[in-house]
Amino acid sequence: MFVAATSRCFSGLPLDAALLQLVELEYTCVEIVVHETGGHLKPSEVLADPEGAIVQCRQTHRLTPVALSVETQAPQPLCYQQFAACCRLAKAIKVVTLTVRSAELGTPFNEEVERLRDLVALASREGVRVGLLTEGGRMTENADTAVVLCNNVKGLGITLDPSHFICGPHCGGNYEQLMKYVYHVRLRDSTKDQIQVRVGQGDVEYGRLVNQLNKVHYDRALCVDILPTSDVDQLSEMRKIRLLLESLL
């Protein structure tokens, strides 16, 4: 395992400046956020100018891209065209895992299975795999449902965000059953009342999590995903959590 960070840890900066900030904090790997809203790149831009997107993602100041987070807001079939373009981008920059969000609660299960099968099929053509983000308010807020989705969509894995099992409707619930499906991990500190608190003030058991991942031979990123807040020193928080995670590896 190794430590990485999402580019949205510095969401207020352009991509180049965000990457440079991570380098100065001594991070070596990055997950680039490709969201239509709030991303450093947009899926529509990747589809419209694939070569330009590749150039941007290769100018990383020595950071190694290890994942892309992809969220498109386009209707079908355009959303699949944009997703396929992001898969080609991932292949071009040698990224293996794309993180996507699950459907909102209330979506018919079979409809979500079909959508995820389509995404996994598109990704597999480029040698890329899809990690479904565990997240409150969506179908993956329940770990058992996330497992069932993975079992029904061959090749689908999990982007594990344990904060949503600490804070939210399933707080305190067990999620160890997800470990064998994990393709990617996102981390911040959390309590049952707040999804993000200062590092060291939350309930995330980093050591236990690392041990659980070791048992299933997980060898990919522990990706810091701390969003900037006005009352917290972002640089200090990013430095603290990097040192904490590296001490466990």
Number of domains in the chain: 1
pLDDT for the residue numbered 91: 97
Q: Which domain holds residue 154?
A: 2-248
Backbone angles phi, psi at 162, to 5 degrees: -65, -20
Q: What is the full DSSP assignment across 33-47? A: EEETTT-SB-HHHHH
CATH of the domain at 176: 3.20.20.150
pLDDT at 246 over 90: yes
In tens, the pLDDT along 18-44 reads 999 999 999 999 999 999 999 999 999
Return the ∠ at Cα 180 (arms to 179 and 181), rounded to 5°.
90
Radius of gyration of the chain (CA): 17
| 117-155 residue pLDDT tens | 999 999 999 999 999 999 999 999 999 999 999 999 999
Report the chain's mean pLDDT, rounded to a whole number. 94
- Indicate the SS3 state at residue 17: helix
Please say if the pLDDT value at position 207 is more than 90: yes
Dihedral sign, Cα of residue 218, residue 223, residue 225, residue 231: positive
